[in-house]
Each structure stands twice: as structure tokens, then as C-alpha cells.
């Protein structure tokens, strides 16, 4: 108990444990290939540097950078990058809004290429 008679340790432990595992980005399994790591590195760099200045206006859930992280992690640099570019193009005043998850499977047409 603190001097004020309240137990602050439990609250601090709860906050710290929720921060440890919490991430905005996809945390499922994905192969760590050089292309994926490069693409995700660029997205993380954007999230840590520029996102605070130009972000915060996304009309979709997840945000465009979160979508890009997951798309590249799941589908690779080329297919995930293409999905991300299409998503960013939809994120405009005349575009769509709302829940827009990354597809778990690519369309058959995209797999053939």
C-alpha cells in the first residue's frame, strides 16, 4: 500500500503487462523472408516517424499501415504490397470506409501470376 492507503503496485503491473503483449500490427505466424522484412521495415519506419504527422485520418479499420503490415506478412512483398497500394487508393474522401480486413487467401487469379 502507498502512503495514501491505496495499492498502486497491482495497477502498475496490470498496465505494464497489457503493454508488453499489445501491438497494433499482425502478430500471427509469418515467414521471415528478406522481402517481407524489408516491406515491414518500411511500414514500421513510417509508423514510428511520419504516422503521427500524416496519420490519424484513416477511414478504415485496420489503418492503412496496419493493413500493409499484415498484407505483407501474410502474402509477401509483391502481393501484399499490391493489396496495400489498392487499399491506400481506396482511402480518400470519395472512397470506402469501415472494416476492411486483409484477405486470408489471395484470389486464384493472383496466385497464378
Digit-by-digit pLDDT tens for the chain (113 residues) are: 445 454 444 444 444 444 445 567 888 899 999 999 999 999 999 999 998 888 777 888 999 999 999 999 999 999 999 999 999 998 888 888 899 999 999 887 655 44
Q: Report the candidate in 29, 23, 111, 26 with the shortest Cα–Cα distance to residue 67.
A: 26
**Nine-digit cell at 39?**
516491406
pLDDT at 109: 65
pLDDT at 77: 96
HSE of 113, CA atoms in CB hemisphere, 13 A: 7
pLDDT at 111: 54
The SS3 call for residue 69 is: helix
Cβ proximity of 102 and 83 under 8 Å: yes
Cα–Cα distance, 46 to 88 (Å, whole number)? 14
Amino acid at each position: 500500500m502507498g502512503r495514501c492507503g491505496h495499492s498502486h503496485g497491482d495497477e502498475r503491473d496490470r498496465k505494464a503487462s497489457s503493454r508488453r503483449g499489445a501491438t497494433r500490427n499482425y502478430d500471427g505466424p509469418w515467414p521471415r523472408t528478406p522481402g517481407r522484412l524489408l516491406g515491414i521495415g518500411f511500414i514500421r519506419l513510417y509508423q514510428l516517424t511520419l504516422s503521427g504527422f500524416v496519420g490519424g485520418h484513416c477511414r478504415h479499420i485496420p489503418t492503412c499501415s496496419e493493413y500493409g503490415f499484415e498484407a505483407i506478412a501474410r502474402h509477401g512483398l509483391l502481393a501484399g504490397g499490391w493489396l496495400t497500394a489498392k487499399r491506400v487508393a481506396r482511402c480518400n474522401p470519395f472512397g470506402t470506409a469501415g472494416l476492411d480486413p486483409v484477405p486470408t487467401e489471395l484470389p486464384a487469379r493472383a496466385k497464378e501470376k
